[in-house]
């Protein structure tokens, strides 16, 4: 919830109102400060605990903060100014800063703007420069209201999207707009911007945690604290309960903190993977549970609102069901929801396993590098570019190696981890977690005026996770082993120790069934020819439901088709429509 925006330089005051109006679903209150050399705006929901009740003004300083700190404070903006200091600050002032926030601090005396984003990237922050004015905002659509800002898609960013199903790194798929990375601080002064990290996750194995009982106790305490730090005194909170170990664990720790959450779970009918487990956990913990049946057609009506609220293109098919889950939570009268995201990234979910298998056999046929295997593991279009891209698009996506370069800090020899497992974990945290799971979940909750709490992406908990011996994360083939040990007394044994089945959205059934008309309109021959990015021969095969030879998983076809459909929809709303709220289906 909440959002910020502003600029350094001279611009029309009315622009600040327009930038705040672009995110009116982020709050019913606004506050602005417009000075000679800068302007700052803030939108929030009044009466929500843990949120800054307006801009914080202190002499020549103006601070705005969207989001909350962990543990919560009455005014995050005031606390940030206190932590950062009145004129300068050292890194150690940010050493324990945690929460879900995006902040801006204007120092009028120094004529300096400081931007700050939370450690894991729950909240977003974008910036651009036009005619000597430096603009920033919580959402991309806010920057697109700047008059005369060229809105041109960035082919290199689209190229990355087509590999990951989200846009990683600092890139934004519109030329000239950048994103501040999670855990980073940016300073704009005298026409120059400097960015640097204030938080970097790195492996540092603690010998004391070699003792399993000590490690279990430490992890359990950190998890309990992480949940408690994200309770802002609400009477009632929601929980998105999948039936897996992570969200079930959050349910346990919420109960231990004295909160009985209202649980919500997805029901895909006969295609459900964990429906029975969610029901079992709710019954075991005595939680009220609402199942949300989704068969596909429910996504047609809200589709364009979903695309608009997501702000960036996200190709994971879970976004539609999550949007509807948020709607259900809001209709139940809630203003905050918890989820269990982060367990896989921190404690070693299933994605380690294919990477380990690939690594052990890597030299046999002398094929792909570790980085290439990691890119393949996203199962979108890496390696299929020749089949998918038109020659015109292929010619402008940029040189080779740009996607692999994103992985070097995590998978390469200079990675901040010595062990293979933690190297892959670091890549997953930085890419999948911080640049896909967290921002999209925040926007989907925010679409329904819900404040999102992601306790497992807690700074101290993450640091603990990377101080564990990796065999406590993956013990034999037992994933997230330490979490299972920490929860085995609180949850039924068959929930804790069963083989993992991920939440699999039956997207192939949907895109070839109830959503085929929508997909056909977005990716039919005429639409493809108009956009000029993709070959009709390849996309047509997907639309006809013809999988790749040797493809064993039916869901991959739907995942690919959905990723393409979401990109085309995003281009229509954000490039063709300059981010304006779509009134109806843009063609």
Partner 1 sequence: MKCIRCGHDSKYKERSNQTCPRCNGRFAFEPRQGAKLTDQAFQNAIDRVSGDGKLRWGAEHLYYEVARRLRPRAWFRTRNSQIGGAVVGAAGLFITYEMGLLFLVGYAIAGGGLAVHQYRRARAATIGLDRTAFSGMLIAWERAHGRPKGLIVRPEAPAQSRPRRVLESDLADYSFDRAVICDRAQTVDLLLANNFHFENNCAVLSVEGYPPGPFETVRTMLKRNPKLQVFALHDATVEGCRLARRLATDPTWFAGQVSVTDVGLRPGQAGPFQGLWLPSPVPNVMPENGIKPAEAAWLGKYSLKLAAIRPDQVLKRLFRAMNRKPEDDDDGDSGSGGGSGDGDGDDDVIEDHDSFSTDASADDGGADSFG
Residues that bind partner 1 (CB under 8 A): 271, 273, 350, 352-354, 356-366, 373, 376-377, 418-421, 423, 470-471, 474, 476-479, 499-502, 504, 547-557
Please check whether residue 458 is in contact with residue 448, taking contact to mean a CB–CB distance below 8 angstroms.
no
Least distance to partner 1, CB of residue 383, Å: 10
Nearer to partner 1, 359 or 392 (CB): 359
Please check whether residue 516 is in contact with residue 565, taking contact to mean a CB–CB distance below 8 angstroms.
no
Least distance to partner 1, CB of residue 421, Å: 6
Q: Whose CA is closest to 152, among 575, 579, 574, 582?
A: 575
Two structure tokens written together for 45: 């929901």
Least distance to partner 1, CB of residue 559, Å: 12
Least distance to partner 1, CB of residue 565, Å: 20
3-state SS assignment for residue 292: strand
Least distance to partner 1, CB of residue 420, Å: 4
| Sign of the CA dihedral running 550, 556, 558, 560 | negative
Q: Write down the residue that tokens 């990716």 correspond to.
A: 523
Calpha distance 401→375 (Å, rounded): 12
Residue 189 has φ and ψ, to the nearest 5°, of -155, 140
Nearer to partner 1, 330 or 475 (CB): 475
Least distance to partner 1, CB of residue 152, Å: 34
Nearer to partner 1, 114 or 436 (CB): 436
- Pairing relationship of beta strands 178-179 and 126-130 according to DSSP bridges: antiparallel
Nearer to partner 1, 150 or 383 (CB): 383
Nearer to partner 1, 302 or 545 (CB): 545
| Sign of the CA dihedral running 539, 542, 546, 549 | positive
Calpha distance 412→143 (Å, rounded): 35
Q: Write down the residue that tokens 């002064």 correspond to.
A: 189
Nearer to partner 1, 399 or 549 (CB): 549
Two structure tokens written together for 473: 């994360």
Least distance to partner 1, CB of residue 460, Å: 24
Least distance to partner 1, CB of residue 397, Å: 22
Calpha distance 479→341 (Å, rounded): 15
Nearer to partner 1, 258 or 550 (CB): 550
Q: Whose CA is closest to 63, among 92, 93, 31?
A: 31
Least distance to partner 1, CB of residue 361, Å: 6
Residue 115 has φ and ψ, to the nearest 5°, of -110, 145
Nearer to partner 1, 41 or 315 (CB): 315
Nearer to partner 1, 114 or 242 (CB): 242
For residue 290, CA distances in Å to 242, 331, 520 come to 12, 12, 33
Please check whether residue 253 is in contact with residue 279, taking contact to mean a CB–CB distance below 8 angstroms.
no
Which parts of 53-122 are beta strand (E)? 56-58, 61-69, 99-107, 112-117
Residues ≥6 apart with Cβ < 8 Å to 386: 394
Nearer to partner 1, 271 or 284 (CB): 271
Least distance to partner 1, CB of residue 475, Å: 8
Q: Whose CA is closest to 323, among 239, 241, 446, 236?
A: 446
Nearer to partner 1, 333 or 502 (CB): 502
Least distance to partner 1, CB of residue 207, Å: 15
Nearer to partner 1, 465 or 571 (CB): 465
Please check whether residue 127 is in contact with residue 178, taking contact to mean a CB–CB distance below 8 angstroms.
yes
Q: Is 132 exposed, middle or buried (0-12, 13-18, 19+ CB in 10 A)?
A: exposed
For residue 446, CA distances in Å to 138, 437, 451, 477 come to 12, 14, 6, 37
Two structure tokens written together for 520: 């056909």
Nearer to partner 1, 356 or 395 (CB): 356
CA 502 to chain centre: 18
Least distance to partner 1, CB of residue 478, Å: 8
Nearer to partner 1, 137 or 421 (CB): 421
3-state SS assignment for residue 188: strand
Least distance to partner 1, CB of residue 419, Å: 4
Residues forming beta bridges with residue 449, ordered by sequence position: none
Least distance to partner 1, CB of residue 476, Å: 4
Residues forming beta bridges with residue 102, ordered by sequence position: 66, 117
Calpha distance 172→140 (Å, rounded): 9
């Amino acid at each position: 919830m909440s959002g910020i925006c502003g600029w350094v330089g001279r611009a029309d005051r009315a622009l600040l109102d327009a930038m705040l109006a672009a995110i009116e679903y982020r709050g019913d209150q606004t506050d602005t400060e417009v000075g000679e050399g800068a302007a700052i705006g803030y939108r929030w929901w009044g009466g929500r605990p843990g949120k800054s009740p307006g801009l914080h003004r202190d002499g020549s300083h103006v601070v705005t903060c969207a989001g909350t700190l962990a543990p919560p404070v009455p005014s995050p903006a005031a606390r940030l100014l206190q932590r950062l200091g009145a004129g300068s600050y050292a890194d150690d002032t940010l050493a324990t800063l945690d929460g879900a926030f995006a902040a801006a601090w204007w120092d009028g005396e120094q004529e300096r703007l400081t931007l700050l984003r939370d450690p894991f990237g729950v909240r977003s922050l974008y910036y651009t420069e036009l005619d000597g004015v430096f603009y920033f905002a919580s959402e991309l659509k806010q920057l697109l209201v700047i008059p005369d800002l060229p809105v041109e898609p960035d082919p290199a960013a689209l190229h990355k999207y087509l590999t990951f199903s989200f846009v990683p790194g600092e890139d934004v798929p519109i030329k000239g707009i950048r994103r501040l990375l999670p855990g980073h601080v940016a300073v704009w002064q005298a026409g120059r911007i400097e960015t640097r990290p204030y938080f970097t996750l790195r492996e540092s194995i603690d010998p004391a945690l070699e003792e399993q009982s000590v490690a279990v106790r430490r992890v359990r305490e950190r998890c309990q604290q992480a949940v408690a730090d994200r309770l802002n005194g609400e009477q009632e909170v929601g929980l998105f309960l999948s039936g897996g170990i992570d969200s079930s664990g959050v349910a346990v720790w919420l109960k231990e903190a004295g909160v009985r959450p209202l649980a919500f779970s997805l029901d895909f009918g006969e295609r459900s993977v964990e429906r029975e487990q969610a029901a079992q956990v709710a019954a075991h913990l005595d939680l009220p549970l609402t199942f949300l049946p989704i068969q596909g057609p429910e996504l047609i009506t809200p589709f364009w609102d979903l695309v608009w609220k997501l702000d960036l293109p996200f190709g994971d098919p879970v976004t539609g069901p999550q949007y509807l889950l948020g709607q259900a939570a809001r209709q139940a009268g809630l203003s905050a929801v918890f989820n269990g995201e982060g367990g896989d990234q921190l404690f070693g979910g299933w994605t380690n396993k294919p990477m380990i298998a690939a690594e052990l056999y890597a030299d046999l046929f002398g094929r792909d590098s570790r980085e290439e295997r990691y890119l393949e593991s996203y199962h979108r279009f890496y390696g299929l570019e020749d089949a998918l891209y038109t020659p015109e698009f292929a010619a402008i996506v940029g040189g080779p190696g740009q996607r692999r370069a994103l992985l070097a800090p995590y998978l390469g020899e200079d990675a901040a981890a010595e062990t293979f497992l933690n190297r892959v974990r670091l890549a997953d945290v930085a890419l999948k977690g911080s640049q896909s799971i967290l921002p999209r979940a925040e926007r989907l909750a925010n679409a329904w005026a819900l404040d999102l709490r992601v306790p497992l992406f807690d700074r101290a908990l993450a640091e603990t996770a990377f101080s564990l011996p990796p065999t406590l994360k993956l013990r034999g083939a037992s994933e997230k082993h330490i979490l299972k040990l920490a929860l085995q007394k609180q949850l039924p044994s068959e929930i804790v120790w069963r083989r993992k089945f991920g939440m699999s959205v039956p997207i192939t059934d949907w895109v070839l069934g109830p959503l085929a008309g929508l997909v056909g309109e977005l990716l039919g021959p005429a639409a493809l020819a108009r956009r000029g990015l993709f070959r009709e021969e390849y996309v047509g095969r997907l639309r006809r439901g013809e999988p790749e030879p040797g493809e064993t998983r039916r869901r991959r076809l739907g995942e690919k088709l959905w990723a393409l459909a979401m990109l085309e929809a995003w281009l229509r709303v954000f490039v063709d429509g300059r981010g304006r709220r779509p009134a109806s289906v843009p063609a």
